[in-house]
């Protein structure tokens, strides 16, 4: 799962959270624009589409530069697809097929990998370093880290009980959940037609749930809770980091949140999964491939976030949303082929309805701007 998707995902000055929104559409649009503005490759420019509404791919000023940039963009997207689907399948394999049933400890490994690799990326210059500016900003980042950690833990727990395909169907509702949280907490509103597009999303989830052969109550509830936590974190970020001077791009926000999240995870592992370190150590000694599997899985947690950042760097955050829908469909198909979990025609129809609703939602928001 996208740890930051999801996750389900994060110029001049610090960026990464929007200005205080006037409505729910403004909230997500601001998040998208902040991500889009984080960086533009040297010697290139974005095409903003008709009236600046649909940013797609960067366009270079010369033929060779444009070709090189296009190749780099395609490569980044391929790595993004591979890492996103890979971490979903590896999480499921570890927590389900492999028998390592410790989702909180696995989350700790993810956070530790993000701590190390974030520092490497910052020190190497791959990511522009943005320091904390005040104690108040540290408190805000800590609150966001708690919401971020909750979403990741719940997402990992859900994969212990339900198939990746079912988890993806539920996770596709994150945009709808974000709009509803914005309405409930910020008293902001979308256009009426945008709320209409939420209906097929919800109906599709109900249909997929009702005809899911591998339905599990704990898995369903944790997947729904993870979706809500991701949406809540997006709304919370728009409020807590609304001050222009406190904005952070997604990679610096991850760099600052990861150590806090790892620290918060330690007592949870001690209380809820006290045998996890012992089991992990035993598997490291007895299973030759376990070390590579665990390290690779944890490293992908950072790669997913880094490639999210790079996709918006070379294309746009709107493109990232569209690719996210396609990734969910592909991840579902691959997981069914690999894990052979049973599916029904009505369940597939429900997921298809949800994805169609997400596309309609994104199109409605684009047309409303």
pLDDT in tens, 214-253: 889 999 999 999 999 988 888 888 777 777 777 788 888 8
Evaluate if residue 53 carries a pLDDT over 50: no
The pLDDT score that the predictor gives to residue 142 is: 92
Instruction: Provide the whole-model pTM.
Output: 0.71
> Is residue 255 within 8 Å of residue 305, measured between CB atoms?
no
Evaluate if residue 344 carries a pLDDT over 50: yes
* Average pLDDT over every residue of 43-61: 44
Tokens (6 digits) for 18: 């929007």
The pLDDT score that the predictor gives to residue 6 is: 40
Evaluate if residue 21 carries a pLDDT over 70: no
Evaluate if residue 317 carries a pLDDT over 70: no
Evaluate if residue 16 carries a pLDDT over 50: no
The pLDDT score that the predictor gives to residue 249 is: 82
Evaluate if residue 111 carries a pLDDT over 70: yes
Evaluate if residue 265 carries a pLDDT over 70: yes
The pLDDT score that the predictor gives to residue 59 is: 47
* Average pLDDT over every residue of 300-323: 76
* Average pLDDT over every residue of 104-132: 92
The pLDDT score that the predictor gives to residue 316 is: 62
CA separation for the pair 230, 147 (Å, rounded): 8
Highest mean pLDDT among 19-23, 33-37, 158-162, 205-209: 158-162
Evaluate if residue 189 carries a pLDDT over 80: no
**pLDDT-derived band at 260, boundaries 50, 70, 90:** very high
* Average pLDDT over every residue of 287-291: 87
**pLDDT-derived band at 177, boundaries 50, 70, 90:** confident
> Considering just the CA atoms, what is the radius of gyration of the chain in Å?
20
User: Mean pLDDT for the chain?
Assistant: 78
Evaluate if residue 339 carries a pLDDT over 60: yes
* Average pLDDT over every residue of 15-20: 38
* Average pLDDT over every residue of 119-148: 89
SS (H, E, C) the chain: CCCCCCCCCCCCCCCCCCCCCCCHHHHHHHHHHHHHHCCCCCCEEECCCHHHCCCCCEEECCHHHHHHHHHHHHHHHHHHHHHHHHHHHHHHHHHHHCCCCCHHHHHHHHHHHHHHHHHHHHHHCCCCCCCCCCHHHHHHHHHHHHHHHHHHHHHHHHHHHCCHHHHHHHHCCHHHHHHHHHHHHHCCCCCHHHHHCHHHHHHHHHHHHHCCCCCCHHHHHHHHHHHHHHHHHHHHHHHHCCCHHHCCCHHHHHHHHHHHHHHHHHHHHHHHCCCHHHHHHHHHHHCCCHHHHHHHHHHHHHHHHHHHHHHHHHCCHHHHHHHHHHHHHHHHHHHHHHHCCCCCHHHHHHHHHHHHHHHHHHHHHHHCC
* Average pLDDT over every residue of 31-59: 46
Tokens (6 digits) for 149: 């950690």
């Amino acid at each position: 799962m996208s740890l930051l998707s999801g996750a389900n995902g994060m110029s001049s000055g610090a960026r990464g959270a929007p200005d205080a929104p006037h409505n729910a559409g403004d909230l997500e649009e601001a998040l998208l624009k902040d991500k889009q503005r984080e960086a533009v490759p040297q010697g290139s420019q974005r095409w903003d589409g008709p009236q600046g509404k649909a940013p797609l791919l960067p366009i270079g000023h010369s033929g060779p530069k444009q070709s090189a940039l296009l190749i780099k963009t395609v490569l980044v997207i391929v790595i993004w697809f591979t890492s996103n689907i890979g971490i979903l399948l590896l999480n499921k394999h570890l927590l389900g097929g492999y028998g390592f049933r410790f989702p909180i400890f696995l989350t700790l490994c993810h956070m530790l990998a993000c701590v190390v690799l974030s520092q490497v990326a910052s020190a190497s210059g791959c990511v522009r370093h943005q320091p904390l500016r005040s104690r108040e900003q540290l408190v805000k980042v800590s609150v966001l880290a708690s919401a971020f950690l909750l979403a990741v833990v719940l997402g990992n727990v859900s994969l212990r009980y339900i198939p990746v395909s079912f988890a993806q169907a539920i996770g596709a509702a994150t945009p709808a959940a974000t709009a509803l949280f914005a309405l409930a907490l910020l008293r902001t509103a979308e256009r009426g037609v945008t709320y209409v597009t939420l209906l097929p999303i919800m109906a599709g989830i109900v249909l997929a749930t009702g005809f899911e052969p591998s339905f599990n109550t704990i898995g369903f509830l944790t997947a729904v809770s993870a979706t809500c936590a991701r949406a809540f974190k997006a709304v919370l970020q728009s409020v807590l980091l609304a001050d222009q001077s406190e904005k952070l791009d997604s990679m610096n926000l991850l760099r600052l949140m990861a150590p806090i999240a790892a620290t918060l995870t330690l007592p949870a592992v001690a209380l809820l999964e006290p045998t996890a370190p012992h089991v992990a150590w035993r598997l490291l000694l007895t299973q030759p491939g376990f070390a590579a599997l665990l390290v690779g899985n944890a490293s992908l947690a950072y790669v997913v976030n880094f490639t999210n950042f790079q996709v918006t760097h070379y294309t746009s955050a709107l493109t990232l949303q569209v690719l996210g829908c396609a990734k969910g469909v592909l991840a579902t198909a691959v997981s069914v082929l690999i894990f052979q979990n049973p599916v029904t025609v009505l369940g597939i129809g429900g997921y298809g309805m949800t994805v169609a609703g997400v596309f309609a939602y994104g199109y409605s928001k684009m047309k409303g701007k």
